[in-house]
Amino acid sequence: MNVSRVDHIGIAVTNLDETIKFYEEVLNIKCHGTEVVEDQKVKVAFFPVGDTELEFLESTSPDGPIAKFIEKNGGRGGIQHVALRVDNIEEAIANMKEKGYAMIDEKPRYGAGGAKIAFCHPKATGGILLELSERE
């Protein structure tokens, strides 16, 4: 498995519009678009910063994973996951499983921005929700 860089940091927020306004108007970092990922029940805003991205996530459903994360976090947002860029997602999943690490995703799935993704179980990564991400 080859990890080339931090792909993005996923940050859960309660109000995506307010977050976009803050980062654009106060920090002068431009949003490069938003996207709804229906199967993950999330709306995402992308903020490229250098070679990585800040990915802000707002739940589109009270039973979505971001809504549950915010609820567990006392109603506040925060860093929800860290994504690492890999060259080959299938190989990365196989490598993790081969070494005995639990995966949430046994097969790649569609992620925001056209990425193929798979999440590693936090119990296998010291409590961090780690996403493996392959982009073309």
State the CATH number of the domain containing residue 9: 3.10.180.10
Tokens of 61: 């459903």
How does residue 136 score in pLDDT terms, banded at 50, 70 and 90?
confident
Which pair of structure tokens corresponds to residue 83?
């994504």
Nearest-angstrom CA–CA distance, 84 and 22: 26
**Whose CA is closest to 85, among 36, 43, 134?**
134
The 8-class DSSP code of residue 46 comes to: E
Q: Can you tell me the distance from the alpha carbon of 72 to that of 68, in angstroms, rounded to the nearest whole number?
A: 6
| Number of domains forming the structure of the chain | 1
Beta pairing, strands 78-86 & 109-110:
unpaired
Supply the pTM of this predicted model. 0.91
pLDDT interval class at 83 (50, 70, 90): very high
Residue span of the structural domain in which 27 resides: 3-134
Checking if the pLDDT of 122 tops 90, the result is: yes
